[in-house]
Amino acid sequence: MSDLYRFGISLDKDLIEAFDRHIKTQGYQSRSEALRDLIREELLRKTREEGGTVAGAIVMTYDHHKRELVNRLLDIQHDFHDLIISTQHVHLDHGNCLEVIAVKGSAPKIEKLATNLKVLVGVKHLNLSVTATD
């Protein structure tokens, strides 16, 4: 966290009125908060492109009946243990597991880990969701 900095901007009246209506629907309490989120998302896109440090989670579902899958998942995660903070496991139904792996590290390495897990037989869906770490 850092000091607040105040400055003025100029926008078309029509545009700011439409924006005010939009952010009120979403529940924002001020223009500053809404603009802050747009700026952070824009900077996150840049950080990922440039291979900077991010934190986030790999979210995947898999079929734990697949032969060898659970062992392969553990092997790969240990190969990247320096990126993985901890994991959370949910038994979705008889056959399917939801696993959420909290990660922190360089964006390209985390993307490599995600790809290595995604291609395994039995992994049904995998998403990587990251946020910048400032």
Which residues in 54-73 contact a copy of itself (CB under 8 A)?
55-57, 59-61, 63, 65
Which residues in 88-127 contact a copy of itself (CB under 8 A)?
88, 90, 92-93, 95-96, 98, 100, 102, 104, 115-116, 118-119, 121, 124-127
Answer for which of 4, 78, 81, 82 binds a copy of itself (CB under 8 A) is 4
Answer for which of 39, 68, 79, 108 binds a copy of itself (CB under 8 A) is 39
Please state, in angstroms and rounded to a whole number, the distance separating the CA atoms of residues 46 and 49: 5
12 binds a copy of itself per the rule CB under 8 A = yes
Instruction: Identify which of 107, 16, 126 has the alpha carbon closest to the alpha carbon of residue 69.
Output: 126
Q: Are 134 and 105 in contact (CB under 8 A)?
A: no
Please state, in angstroms and rounded to a whole number, the distance separating the CA atoms of residues 71 and 27: 45
